Structure 1
């Protein structure tokens, strides 16, 4: 009976496991579309699918506001691809335009958009790229011992006496035949230039209980070096739609090599992983074309079981691309941050990129430029910056990889295969993921922000003679090539033991809007950059207090910049304490005329800095005078820890909002001293969020954006409500607040109506049929009382879309003390 019961239990478990796996998608036979419902209306999405004669496929992975539908391709096979694309989209548009009282109209109104899912190759492995420069690297001969001691790095515990290396291996039971080649774990030639790992292992901290998932080209789970640590339940193949991520192509070795760095078993095969008792899962996405829906599902795959997502890929590193996740892919990253690991947030680790020799910069990659990810660059065994590793202000730390005639030794595809040829930032990111597995094994309660703060606090400086090291107000140092320094396993684990969890995240957004684009001065041939485009936003103590901002973490800058040759621009952010972040560097191969259309840059350089004072954006255009540009608008976003005594339900401090420059003519300097839009801080969540009617939360603003997105900054500063109306986040904080707004609005309109009637009577008494021109208020972006024709047009627009495209920001007219409504200009 016991045996029968066990078999029954196992059968049920297998059925549940199979049921939880993604349903395979056949893009050859069906056309797939996603529906977006901000209010997470499942029934509305299902009914919309019926109206479109489409098959309802259900949720897109773990996303509750995106739904997948499909239509049979053969049924419209006579149509061209364009006709196929237009067929369902046109039908949806027609449904949105209907003005009917039946259920269909109500359902469609809850769906904000539809998007066709087209599989494509869009992600590039960040594997090593051998070039002439690398072949010319000097031989390995330098010893960094004294340099690292001077920098305060803890030298490994076993180096105190002769023969200690062999004694250390014996004490830890290391018999792996390739361990001596793993200089990134124990560097005997350049002592101190390694992960400083053995002191952690000596304490029995080896990653047990943590799962790292490789989003890559597969994982050889049959390898003797990985099979005992393979976690099948967290694995899936989105390329071939099979449960196991078996490498199938001749070059499907990238994911296996990365997995070996993280969790190669301590045995007698090859080498060891950083966290050799952690589990590794494989999610295969890089070996064929995938759709956005596939990618979104992969980024959240089994996110209650998979703790850390190791991603050694991104957009092409050719110095020409500005690209970022958008739509449901972005939503998947945010969903992982909000809901992964039981609300502590998935740990997303991304390789910074291999485009250094092409002037590429990781701030142009929306995955590495995101505050939700940990961006990891490379440092070689001499502690030097490899030519391929990209620099940027979003880079948090570096770890070891190829360069100086050395590469990384790790597991390869095959039963007992190994390689000493792994490298690039592809090899750096998994080492960081392995270190984070060690941390989570002793502190599973840490949030995604806690992990980033531990990196900031414990990273060790390298290449001390590099001229980009800047001493910060916090006393730490930062370098755009190395971030805060090299990840040190011993230091971060020790710090994690006593680390006090951060309070929830809060957010302050201050837009600088102008009536017309401001030209960027040409500085070709000039060394003096004081005449560059300069614009300043002043942050006051009242602004920070209004959102409870107590300690600064990330700073994001949303920009809309037009330019005829994007690669000519350098963009700098200067803080109140004269700390300068390089947000964009010149790229000689970037000839795009697209500029930066509502792109968001991110910097971690201002961590723990006092945000009060002037923040200055400087845009330098010093090349090709015949190709010019202008700044349309920009927004300063300050993210950080909420004050302990902050009441998120308190009424936000009212702050004026300006929508015009302080000067009418193009000038070198513009100032915005009091523009603000606030976001709420939730004491129950680790990320800034605002409730919506369905009871879930989303971050207040979008730190990852795609160039060309129309007014993305303004749209992302609001939270979707169930009725489809966009409302600023600090307003959508409770049902009572919404009631107050409704009542207050009614009273204001009533008072305004009474005043208007009285004023009309006074004009009539004076003989006027229309208000005299001297009484008209100048400077409004739109009239508070629109003409009847305009009102009807707005009503028609609302009928078509379910909500207006933008929500006006309310502010106070400083000159007259009146409440005014203003909108950003196109």
Structure 2
């Protein structure tokens, strides 16, 4: 009986201790914290509460070392003319620090020696971390437009033509900005620098928002970026997209209260020194740099900012905006119709830039907009019969002919100006995270969309999706800045391994290199959240455009690093080129990463893989202590194991937009002819590797890649038998023909006596082979053969139907 009574009493005490304390709005609450959970802790808490003149409320939920006390409001007294202090906190501080001077019983002294601190409880509002929806919209785009005019006082005559701001025909196919403007978020306090061909600062639509202090002309080396040449209108158009004043001229800018600087660099030749200076010009005052230019988008150029230019980008992200970093925005390029890929542009595939592609008014991919794994987001530009309406060169001149990815980049820069006007403390990497987190996937019927382990979706044409002004601004309001960046670098020596030929057949033989990333490596680098991945590659090849590369993660996520470029016939190969992907953002990196390298199109052009380095960039663990180990003491020596893998048509070269869409060429930064003092014409590429012992790497076995007709070995055997049969039959036919001719000439029907032919002297039959073109539905049945049956994959198609047709046309000619 006594046992049951005791057990019941214990249960009642436990229930009472776990009871939620209901808050009385007339009282102020505090928590007492005791580091150790002891039998008398609750007794000590009651003693402390009494000493402070407060009411003991009880323990805090299931926490054994926290106890609640309260006092009546008001709980603040004046200590001096300008300082207020909480009497309970003041009493705790005094009694805790001066306990030896106060008269206490032994029991009180023990209680005060046990308590560690007191915390005043402040009311806070928590926000839901659900997916941010689109701001509520009215039933039609026309209503949205009229509502914006009325509520915001927009009288610009061209506002109705700015479909990218308010799409009246297809509601929702716009940047969703009016709901942001209604909050008073209009870009005030931000400055966007337009690196371009000048800026018409006398234009009525721009002069009130022109920031002369952040402007300069690096072509003519004068203070103001005055357009001089007949075609110096591009920068003015971009500036109008961002910060056209709300007035009675043309339209309005996305951030119509922001400032714009003009940095003129595209109207003539400039040196790397001038370009580097331009990329950092007044980077404390200029917050965002909008760059709608790059190397030629011709499908054969491969150019990157090296040396001083590379240092300029690093200087910008490290020291710009008071250390928060310059936000560099670059257009992907307009070379899509030429088979170009933005991973061959060293400006757009940099981890320091936000690479922006284009979509048209129907949320579709225009054929000119380049695709690549470095593309982060897309936004609106020309295509499908519509272009961007904006300010033009001239006092009150406007245009509705602006387009290409040249227009997409400033649209993004304008949206980022809205973000920084709300959160000027955000870093350059914060902006990238916000892009990833808030971008909206479009054109979901496109087959390149793949769901990632993060739950997000990615497409090499669209990145993570289109920018939504309302979504990214709302997310920015509560965004917690990411910790500093760290990286993990893993060099791989390939010992000049031959790249297998992949020009025929359904099953291709890629060169495969596997890098194993362990939990210890990630922990030693302090890497807590993955962001960018780069693959720095060295390849010798007789025709660079034949090379295709895919990076596959341990989670079967595949990034298309390099696509075939039919126009790139350079024999220079690939030297220290950094391919970049953002597709693996926040993916768990632990496991085996595989680089697939294919040699396509031209069987007579061969190449060798020398080495490559995979580098993972991301957020450092806030709790990490010590010096991070960026390059672990391992050596990933790998060679080709002869395995096979399926090649599919390249999605990145496939267009959902008619070829009738024509985009203006993206402006090209003009370089002067340079000279070099190097005495040797040979190119030598070296990579330093750790002198440690080799770590085993995982390769696929030959029997893992089995085609529908059998194993690769079986196919080789069958091919050998076929060749033997054809040679035998052909030899017999030739001998028969020769015999007939001889007999006919001599009119002699005696059987000829011919010597037996050895294999070295036997005639070889010349056979022509025809291969049936694979249908798309047949190709979709297979994937890279390293995936087991039943596993999902997002293998990147590597060769498009368009590219195959172009190649066939070249062969026919």
TM-score normalized with structure 2 length: 0.63
SS of aligned partner of 1:438: helix
User: Is 2:453 the partner of 1:453?
Assistant: no
Q: Give the Å deviation of 1:620.
A: 1.2
2:387 aligned residue: 407
2:502 aligned residue: 523
Q: Give the Å deviation of 1:259.
A: 0.2
Q: Give the Å deviation of 1:655.
A: 4.5
| Matched ranges for 1:716-735 at <5 A | none
Q: Are the structure 2 counterparts of residues 508 and 669 from structure 1 closer, same or farther at C-alpha, using a change threshold of 3 Å?
A: farther
Q: Give the Å deviation of 1:156.
A: 5.2
Residue of 302, 309, 312 corresponding to 2:282: 302
1:333-371 C-alpha deviation (Å, 9 max, x unpaired): 110011000000000000000000000000000000101
2:325 aligned residue: 345
Q: Are the structure 2 counterparts of residues 814 and 527 from structure 1 closer, same or farther at C-alpha, using a change threshold of 3 Å?
A: closer
Q: CA RMSD in A?
A: 2.1
Q: Give the Å deviation of 1:154.
A: 1.7
CA distance in 2, matches of 1:240, 1:533: 50
2:518 aligned residue: 540
Q: Are the structure 2 counterparts of residues 512 and 303 from structure 1 closer, same or farther at C-alpha, using a change threshold of 3 Å?
A: same
Q: Give the Å deviation of 1:582.
A: 0.2
2:579 aligned residue: 601
Q: Give the Å deviation of 1:656.
A: 3.7
1:740 aligned residue: none
2:459 aligned residue: 479
1:77 aligned residue: none
Residue of 811, 815, 821 corresponding to 2:692: 811
| Matched ranges for 1:38-53 at <5 A | none
Residue of 490, 500, 505 corresponding to 2:485: 505
Q: Are the structure 2 counterparts of residues 812 and 621 from structure 1 closer, same or farther at C-alpha, using a change threshold of 3 Å?
A: closer
Residues 526, 622 of structure 1: 8 Å contact kept: no
Residues 514, 592 of structure 2: 8 Å contact kept: yes
2:357 aligned residue: 377
Residue of 156, 160, 165 corresponding to 1:176: 156
1:629 aligned residue: 607
1:314 aligned residue: 294
Q: Are the structure 2 counterparts of residues 163 and 331 from structure 1 closer, same or farther at C-alpha, using a change threshold of 3 Å?
A: closer
Q: Are the structure 2 counterparts of residues 232 and 578 from structure 1 closer, same or farther at C-alpha, using a change threshold of 3 Å?
A: same
CA distance in 2, matches of 1:600, 1:592: 18
Residues 142, 168 of structure 2: 8 Å contact kept: no
CA distance in 2, matches of 1:161, 1:437: 24
2:592 aligned residue: 614
SS of aligned partner of 1:157: coil
CA distance in 2, matches of 1:635, 1:583: 14
2:617 aligned residue: 639
CA distance in 2, matches of 1:459, 1:813: 42
1:157-178 C-alpha deviation (Å, 9 max, x unpaired): 3447985532331111110000
Q: Are the structure 2 counterparts of residues 164 and 619 from structure 1 closer, same or farther at C-alpha, using a change threshold of 3 Å?
A: closer
Residue of 411, 416, 422 corresponding to 1:442: 422
Unpaired runs of at least 5, structure 1: 1-150, 671-706, 715-807, 816-826
Residue of 167, 186, 209 corresponding to 2:189: 209
SS of aligned partner of 1:522: coil
Q: Give the Å deviation of 1:712.
A: 7.6
Q: Are the structure 2 counterparts of residues 647 and 155 from structure 1 closer, same or farther at C-alpha, using a change threshold of 3 Å?
A: closer
2:642 aligned residue: 668
CA distance in 2, matches of 1:296, 1:409: 32
SS of aligned partner of 1:436: helix
1:562-601 C-alpha deviation (Å, 9 max, x unpaired): 1111111110000010000000001110101111111110
CA distance in 1, matches of 2:311, 2:171: 43
Residue of 184, 189, 202 corresponding to 1:222: 202
Residues 377, 395 of structure 1: 8 Å contact kept: yes
1:763 aligned residue: none
Q: Give the Å deviation of 1:713.
A: 6.2
CA distance in 2, matches of 1:356, 1:570: 16
User: Is 2:363 the partner of 1:389?
Assistant: no
1:573 aligned residue: 551
CA distance in 1, matches of 2:506, 2:457: 27
Q: Are the structure 2 counterparts of residues 536 and 416 from structure 1 closer, same or farther at C-alpha, using a change threshold of 3 Å?
A: same
CA distance in 1, matches of 2:682, 2:583: 27
Residue of 280, 284, 295 corresponding to 2:264: 284
Residues 535, 617 of structure 1: 8 Å contact kept: yes
Unpaired runs of at least 5, structure 2: 1-130, 645-680, 697-813
Q: Are the structure 2 counterparts of residues 437 and 653 from structure 1 closer, same or farther at C-alpha, using a change threshold of 3 Å?
A: closer
CA distance in 1, matches of 2:336, 2:199: 28
SS of aligned partner of 1:314: coil
Q: Give the Å deviation of 1:282.
A: 0.2
1:54 aligned residue: none
CA distance in 1, matches of 2:256, 2:683: 43
CA distance in 2, matches of 1:410, 1:418: 6
| Matched ranges for 1:409-428 at <5 A | 409-428=389-408
TM-score normalized with structure 1 length: 0.62
Q: Are the structure 2 counterparts of residues 496 and 281 from structure 1 closer, same or farther at C-alpha, using a change threshold of 3 Å?
A: same
1:455-497 C-alpha deviation (Å, 9 max, x unpaired): 0000011111101001000000000000000000000000000
Q: Are the structure 2 counterparts of residues 710 and 501 from structure 1 closer, same or farther at C-alpha, using a change threshold of 3 Å?
A: farther
SS of aligned partner of 1:329: helix
Q: Determine which structure has more spread, i.e. the larger CA radius of gyration.
A: 2
Q: Are the structure 2 counterparts of residues 544 and 669 from structure 1 closer, same or farther at C-alpha, using a change threshold of 3 Å?
A: farther
SS of aligned partner of 1:493: helix
Q: Give the Å deviation of 1:281.
A: 0.1
Q: Give the Å deviation of 1:710.
A: 5.5
CA distance in 2, matches of 1:449, 1:178: 35
Count the aligned residue pairs.
Answer: 530
Runs (4+) off by over 2 Å: 155-165, 652-661, 666-670, 707-714, 808-815
Residues 655, 812 of structure 1: 8 Å contact kept: no
Residue of 235, 239, 262 corresponding to 2:242: 262
